[in-house]
Homo-oligomer: A and B are copies of this chain.
Amino acid sequence: MDVFEALGDPVRRSLLQRLADGPARVVDLAAEHPISRPAISRHLRVLVDTGLVAAEERGRERHYRLVRSGLAPVQAWVEALTRIDPPIPEHALDGLDLEVRRAGRERRPAPRQHTHEETA
């Protein structure tokens, strides 16, 4: 399972938010959530596997903590999509505009988007 799928589950997001406040044990997390301890345990395994959480053994206890660096891929992906990259300077297409728009009716590969995209 990848990081994005891991973040797709609301329970796991809740666990991550809780762990942002500091480490916790499984019983603690289970007490703060409406689902059973085994369910929490499985969610934690997913989070560990995806690198979002780390566990530290301490006798019979196991302390889970948030690994913030695990979110880096998500941050990078979102930023990549958010960034507006004008691959071709606007004015360079001015002459070709009409021609490109009309050529190749049977397969329109990608009508180049306008640079003035929404950014809000």
Contacts and interface: CB of A to CB of B under 8 A. Distances in A.
Contacts of A9: 5
A81 B16 contact: yes
A116 to B, nearest CB: 13
Interface in A61-82: 63, 65-69, 71, 74-75, 77-82
What is the interface residue range for chain A against chain B? 35 or more
A68 B117 contact: yes
A21 B78 contact: no
A71 B78 CA distance: 7
A24 interface: yes
Interface of A: 2, 4-5, 7-10, 13, 16-17, 20-25, 28, 63, 65-69, 71, 74-75, 77-82, 84, 108-113, 117-120
